[in-house]
Every structure is written in C-alpha cells, then in structure tokens.
Structure 1
Amino acid sequence: MRKSNYRVVIALLLFFAGMLNYLDRAALSVMAPMIKGDLHIDDAQMGGLFSAFFIGYCLFCFIGGWSADKFGPRKVFSFAAAFWSVFCGATALVTGFTHLLIVRVLFGIGEGPMGTTTNKSISNWFPRKEVGRAVGFTNAGQPLGAAIAAPIVGLVGLNFGWRIAFVVIAALGFVWLASWRLLFTDKPEQHPRVSDAEKALIARDRPATTFTQDKKQEDTYTLWYYVFSKPVLGVAAAFFCFNYIQYFFLSWLPSYLTDFQHLDIKSMSIIGILPWLGATAGFIGGGIVTDILYRRSGNFLFSRKAVIFTGLTIAAGCVLMTAYTRNTAGAVALITVASIFAYMTPQACWSLLQDIVPAHRIGTAGGFVHLLANLAGILSPSITGLLIQYGGGYQSAFILSSCLALVGVIALAILVRQNKVNELFGKTPSQKEAITQH
C-alpha cells in the first residue's frame, strides 16, 4: 500500500467491521428455524428476540457517538468489538428464551457504537470530495456480511449445530480487533505511515469544514442545539424509515423464505444471498452517484437528497409489489431490487449529516440520529412477528414497510432544506450561495 494512500487501509478496516457486525446480527435470523425448534420459541417471541438486540444498541448509538468525540474512535471501537464478540459467542451457551433475551440485549450494547464511530472515523480520515464513496464503500460491508451469513452460518449450523456457528463468528471478531489496534489511529496526523502529502490533502478538505466555527461559537451552541434541529431530525426520520425495511429483511427474510415460500434451509441459504448482494451494490453505487451529482451540481445538499428520494421511492414500490407476489422467483427479484435502491439511503444520510453538523459535534449528533433511526430495530421485528402470528401475515408486514418508506421521503423534503441548514449555522442570506456551492 502506497503511503500516500493509507486511508484505503482505514476504509478496508471499517468495511470489514461492518461485515462482521451484520454477519453477527444476521446469524440469529438464519438460525431461527433451528433455534425456534430447539428452544421451543414461537414467532411472537422470536420477534421479541430480534428487537431485544436494539434495546442496548439504540442507547449505545448515542453513548458511542459521544464517546467517539471525547475519547476517539480507536478506543471506542476497540472496546465495542471486544464486547460484541464476547456476547456473540455467549449465544452458544443459552438454554432458553430468557437467557437468549439477556444475551441479545448485551450483544446490542456492544454493536451500538459501530455506525457513529465509523462515521467519526471517516470524518477524521477522508476529504470532503471522497465522503460519499468512503461512506458507501465502508458501509457496503454491512449487507455483504448479511449475504455471507446465509451460506456460512447456514452451512456451519447444518453440519456442526447452530451453537458452533456463533463461536466461529466471535473468533472472527477478535481477529478484526487485533488488526484495528495495529493499523488505526484517531487521525492521520498521528500515523507514522501517512505521508505529509496525504495529511495535507485530508486537512485541506475535511468534512464539515465549511461550517467549522470559531471557539466562541463552539462554546455558544450546545449539542442539543444541533441534535434537535429540523435538518438533523429530518435525516433521522429518513434513516428510521430505511431501517424499518432493513430490519424487517434482516430479521424475517430467512423465515419468510422457509415458512411462506416453503424453501428448505439449504435452499434459503443460497437464495437468501441475492437481496444482500443487491444491498451491497446499492451502498457502493449510491456513494458513487452522490459524489458524481455533487461534482456536477456543486450542491452537496441536493446530491444527497436526490439519492435518498430516489432510493426510498423505488424501494417502496418494490416492497409493496412483493406483498402481492406468490411466486418465489418474483418475490426474491422484487426484494433484491428494493434492497439495491433502499441501501442507497443510509450512506447518503451519513454523508449529508457530515455537511450539516460541525466536525466537533459529528460523533454526538450522529449518535443521536443513529439512536432515533434504530428505534426501528425495536419496532420492526416485533411488529412483524405480531403481524405474522396474529395479524395479516407477511402481506401486511410488506405493506406497512412500503408505506413507511414514503413517510421518510416526505419527512426529508419538509425538514431538510437549504434555508433550514443556513439557520442552523446562523448563516445570512448573502452566505447561502457560498455554503451551497462549496
């Protein structure tokens, strides 16, 4: 690796962190048919277990973001990775519903800081013109982790039992932790392998430098001024609506394929890869498109919002059509297309947030957004489980997810507007053009 390009190493570390996180999370849904039979758990209880993860996760999204601002992403990610790996492995020891519920909450605490700490790391290590691609690439590891979870966890579970699958994943977490400690520093200025030229390139054009305030302003505005502003809440709303779809798929797609489409676990493990490969393409493609739109328009806000609008709208249509599709091939195709476009949304949300919040508040504000967005992780799996067992089944679950995607589009259009961003930073009308065209 050339010294002038060391930030590629950082991107790869964050990519593999996201892959491991979603491999960990998806493992329970892939093994759900086995675990339900072994531990005598019904669909409503399974939905509760999927949601339990997000009780700890949501709280530590915010705490993790605040910690990343205060202590730096290196320490926070190190602690988080060790914690989540221990409790992923502890899943192999559970003997019933209550034990598994407790382990899932603790496991969620460990993974909570991941998203906001990743965003803080990107803010520190990448120039503004590369933010879209950096966020898109690093976060592409997440759906790819969910994709490989189906064959890896499914086949390990079939051959060695579902408990061994969780032990194997925990071991991978500790391998990543060792790499992170060896290769990462909080800022490029601290790393001996980063050239002076690369340090200067990053420092000249760090995200949120347009709005970096002087010391007096930093002391004047509290973090609550930013986190409760309309633009930040608008990003959180769009992120929440995307997450509702994401956690519906992440938690219930394997069960949908086995229970509703009547696939066996082996077939599900192979076919279940497709939507997550589509999601990976959406993450990477969305990051590329946002950077292209920014270069051509010069408008950071427009480039991010256009991608979110397009992604959520097309995803809503595909999810709605899936509700009325009985053919397995057609349903998987629609879910895959929905994943491609839906997964253009989160990277645009993260990079948009970096432009509407000053650098010294990005970890905390990002943590707050992530907390609100991941309340969907509590609601989506539980509501879906209740709908499957007591309501309109999978059809009603798909319809609800589709409607929420459109709610995200509306919230973003109303709350995240250029004049609202200008007001957030106390910009005058004469400064608007400079902000928009930076």
Structure 2
Amino acid sequence: MTRSTRGPAGELTAASPATTGRMRLRWVILAITSLVLILNYADRAALGVAGSHIIKEFGLTKTEFGLISSVFFIGYAPFCFIGGWLSDKYGPRVVMGMAVGWWSLFTALTAAGAGYLSFMVIRFLFGFGEGPQGAVTIKTMRNWFPQRQMGTAVGVSQGCTPLGGAIGTPLVAWLIAGTGDWRTPFIVLGVLGLLMTVGWFVLVRDTPEKHPWAVEQDATDIADIVDPDVAQVADEDAPPVSFYIRQPLVLATALAFFGYAWVLYSFLSWFPVYLVEARGVNLKEVALTGALPWLLGFVGYLLGGVLTDNIAVRTGRPAFARKSVIVVGLTLTAILLCFVGLATTLTGAMVLMSSVVFLLYLTGSQYFTLISDTIPKSRLGGVVGFVHFLANTSGVFAPLAVGAIVDRTHSWVLTFGVSAGVCIAGVVAILVWGRTPPRAPLAATSLKGE
C-alpha cells in the first residue's frame, strides 16, 4: 500500500513503500537514541540516590561530596564540545557508541570506590563518556529529521533524560534497599550499558543514505521551513565553527542554557539528600517521591518540543518560537524556586519542586533546536557541543556551591534563591543578546578550512 505526500510544489505524489519504510526507520533511530539517553541519566542520577550511604560510609562532608559531584563536570563539559566536533568529522554513530561503552565501564567501576580520592578519579573519567551525548544526539536527529520535526525529535530523545532519572531513582533506591549495598546498582547499570553499546552499533547509521535497511534515497517528504529571521547558508559555504561560536545568539543561548543546567545539576546532585536530611524522608520513600519531578520533567520536555514545532509551523519563525519558550519557562522556574525552600510540608515542597522541573524541562529542547535552526548542518555538532560545554560548566560550580552553602549556613532556602538568580541571568542574556541570529559573512568561503 502506498500513501500520498506533498511534492515540492505542493502537489500530491505517491510515496513508494521504500520511502514509507525509510520514514518509519527514522523513528527506530529516535527510539534507540532515546533508550541511550534514559541510560545516560539513570547512570548519572545513581550517585545522588546513593549519596547519603556513601557520605555515611566514608565520613564525607557535604563539601567533599559536592566536589565528587562537581569533578564529573570537569571531565564532562570539555567532552560536550569534543564529542560534537568529532561527530562533524567522523559521524555521530561511532562517537556515541564509544561514549556509551566508556561511561558504562566507569559506572560499574563506581562500585570499586574506596574513598574520597578514588571517587574523584572515577567520577572525573566517567564524565568523558557522558559529555558527547547532547551534541551527538542533535547531530543524529538533524541527519534523520526535517527541521519542522526537530522540536519533536529532540523533545522525545532529550526528554528521555529526565525519564532516565525517573527510572533510575527508584531502581537504584530499591536495589540498595533490597541488597543493603549501595554498590549493586552501579554494577547492574554498567552491564546494561555495555549491552546497549552493542545495540547502538547494530541499529544506527550516521545518515539514512548509509543505513543497510534502506533501499533508496529518502524523498523530501517534509520540506524545511525557510525562517525569515535567519540567513540561509549552504553547508558547503558555511564558515568554520570558530565563526559561529562568537555570535551573540550562540553565546546568549549558552548563558541561558547555563541557568537551566545550574538548576538541573543542583537538583540532580542534592535533591535526594535534601529529602532525606531536611524533610526526614527515608530511602524507600525517595524511590517514589524522588521520581515524581523526573516524570513531570519528561512530560515538560516532550510538550516543549511539540509546542515549539507547532508555533514554528504556524508562524514560519522557528527561532522566535524557541526563544519565547526559553524566556517564559526560565522566568517561571525562577519564581517558583524562590518558594521551594519556604514550603512548610513535604507535600508542598514536592509540588513546588515538581513544577520547577516541569517548567525547566519545558525549555530543555529549545537550546538545542535554536542552534539547529540557525547553524548549517555541517557545523552543527561543533557549535552545539560548544554551547553544551559552556552550559555544563555550571555542573562544576552548582553542586559544590550547594554543598558549601549548606555546610556553612545550614540553609537550603539560600541555595534555591541562588539558583533562581542564575535562571534570571539567562533570561536577560536571551532578551538582550539573543535577538540577532548568526549571519555568515559575504566571503564565507574564505573562512573555511576547519
């Protein structure tokens, strides 16, 4: 059976079974990518869930545990850029496959941690593997999906990161409660990751044209949107990555993403500890209450991607759609954060924090898709990787800052207020510097050479 599609001029044309199969194949690529990202955040969330056990067993201070959480980002942040740049040169398939294998190995090795210094080394090396996932995912989605579906594709794939937290939080908590040993979940997750590495290499190829399951080149079934706000530059005429990373919109997006990441990594590293110590929640209760914000974050990520795709199609201005959601979402996130620490009941704190995570993740796909909307595909991995790198330097400072503030002031309220302020700084950056998209110089070809 064939189905009809719109041709370049809008006329109805018959889609061949091969083309229809190819269109289904992109959703297979999206599915395996989503599973990889579920695992990515389940592995990352595991340390926060096991944190109270590790702190107690090894006699760590909050500042020391904050440093263990932060050192991950010293390894992670540079590899956001390195992984994206490598995906432009060698393709996303090999880069992501190697990354999954690497981070899974060090997830398992976390169980061998024997003290402060060994956790620091393991967590630092663990970050090397986790770093490339953001840029490589966007590169993969852009290779397989047309622009008007990018918000949905990124929303589904990256939306699976909070789903990983929602799954990983109770899984790790139940494994610890069931075995009495915090090491067990790290071994289980490491083995799952090595199996996932094999599945990735079997199912994924860099582009539709390279996939053995496809029998003919994909038809232009859905045309890209021509955004009047963005200068259109052919891939072969694109300036080097160094040109794009100096543009105000790219830097403003990175600053807004930094605010997003500050809240996220404070939550990821410390919210389970906050529930246990400030709210008296036991670990089994963390398995349930700690998963709720992640589930709402998953919904927010999906909704944000679909919402901006719809706005982009209706207005013909994808970049404007992404920026609007970033500004509204981060502003509301900051407002609610100010009230989380003031909540007088566990229920109130959970409702507020769940709302914060929902609104935060509503903006989650926009940073990636805003870059995808404005940067040629041949430079996309490197530019997204650079933005992701700058954003994730917040992971170096946020967990450490929270630990230091709580150690010195015993105030969780202050940590939430600091996070709100960082969010607002990101909003200001988008409003002030995010108005002008990157525009290639007239002599673009003279800049090529990277």
1:312-327 correspondence to structure 2 within 5 Å: 312-327=330-345
C-alpha distance in 2, partners of 1:122/1:99?
37
Please report how far the alpha carbon of residue 196 of structure 1 lies from its aligned counterpart in structure 2 after TM superposition: 3.6
Aligned partners of 2:382 and 2:279: how far apart in 1?
A: 43
Residue pair 2:226, 2:316 contacting (<8 A) in 1 also: no
Match for 1:253: what amino acid?
A: F
> Which one of 175, 187, 193 corresponds to residue 167 of structure 1?
187
What does residue 114 of structure 2 align with?
Answer: 95
1:364-417 CA-partner distances (Å, limit 9, x unpaired): 111110110000111110000001101352110000111111111110111111
Work out whether 1:79 is the aligned partner of 2:98.
yes
Q: 1:119-198, aligned counterparts within 5 Å?
A: 119-160=138-179, 161-194=181-214, 196=216
Q: Is the 8 A contact 1:131 1:207 kept in 2?
A: no
1:425 aligns with 2:446: no
- Give 1:204 shift: 5.3
1:278 counterpart = 2:289: no
How far, CA to CA, are the matches of 1:202 and 1:171 in structure 2?
Answer: 39
Superposed, 1:43-54 pairs within 5 Å as 43-54=62-73
Which structure 2 residues correspond to residues 31-430 of structure 1 after superposition, within 5 A?
Answer: 31-160=50-179, 161-194=181-214, 196=216, 199-201=218-220, 205=224, 211-213=232-234, 215=236, 217-218=237-238, 221-391=239-409, 393-417=411-435, 420-421=436-437, 424-426=439-441
Decide whether aligned partners of structure 1 residues 354 and 3 sit closer, same or farther in structure 2, where only a CA change above 3 A counts.
Answer: closer
Bigger share in helix: 1
CA offsets 1:41-64 (integer angstroms, 9 cap, x no match): 111101111101101001111110
> Following the alignment from structure 2 to structure 1, what is the Cα–Cα distance between the partners of residues 151 and 408?
42
Whether the aligned pair in 2 keeps the contact of 1:231 and 1:356 (CA below 8 Å) is no
Q: Counterpart amino acid of 1:212? A: V
Query: 1:126, 1:202 within 8 Å by CA — same for their partners in 2?
Result: no
Shift of 1:201: 2.7
CA contact (8 A) 2:235 2:377 kept: no
Q: Find the aligned partners of 1:177 and 1:280 in 2 and give their Cα distance.
A: 23
Cα displacement string for residues 12-51 of structure 1 (whole angstroms, at most 9, x for unaligned residues):
1111111111000100000011111112211110111110
Instruction: Please provide the CA RMSD for this pair.
Output: 1.8
Q: Does the CA contact (< 8 Å) of 1:207 and 1:359 recur in 2?
A: no
CA distance in 1, matches of 2:168, 2:80: 23
Separation in 2, partners of 1:169, 1:188 = 31
Note the alpha carbon deviations across 1:94-150, whole angstroms, 9 max, x for none.
111100100000000111111110011011110011000000000111001111122
Aligned residue for 2:46? 27
Preserved contact between residue 125 and residue 202 of structure 1 (Cα < 8 Å): no
Q: SS at the partner of 1:162?
A: coil
Q: Which residue of 2 aligns with 1:434?
A: none
Q: Counterparts of 1:3 and 1:131 in 2: how far apart (Å)? A: 17
Q: Distance in 2 between matches of 1:145 and 1:210?
A: 37
- Tell me the CA shift for residue 228 of structure 1: 1.4
CA contact (8 A) 2:299 2:358 kept: yes
Contact 1:239 1:345 in 2 (8 A): no
Please tell me the residue identity of whatever aligns with 1:328. L
Is the 1:68–1:120 contact (alpha carbons within 8 Å) kept by the matching residues of 2?
yes
Counterpart contact for 2:34–2:157, Cα < 8 Å: yes
Deviation at 1:158, TM superposition (A): 1.5
Give the drift of 1:346: 2.2
Unpaired segments ≥5 residues, structure 1: 428-438
AA partner of residue 232 (structure 2): F
Matched residue, 1:432: none
Q: Paired residue for 2:445? A: none
Q: Hey, what's the Cα distance between the residues in 2 that align with 1:107 and 1:139?
A: 20
Structure 2: runs of 5+ lacking an equivalent: 1-19, 443-450
Q: Is this contact kept in 1: 2:234–2:376, CA < 8 A?
A: yes
Equivalent position SS for 2:364:
helix
Cα deviation digits, residues 210-255 of structure 1 (max 9, x gap): 733364x43xx33211011101001101100000000011110100
Give 1:194 deviation, angstroms: 3.0
Note if contact 2:38-2:162 (Cα within 8 Å) is conserved in structure 1.
yes
TM superposition shift of 1:305: 0.9
Offset at 1:343?
Answer: 0.5
**Aligned equivalent of 1:433:** none
Q: 2:145, 2:155 → 1: CA distance?
A: 13
The 1:331/1:193 distance shift into structure 2, 3 A limit, reads: same
Corresponding residue for residue 436 of structure 1: none
Q: Is the 8 A contact 2:225 2:313 kept in 1?
A: no
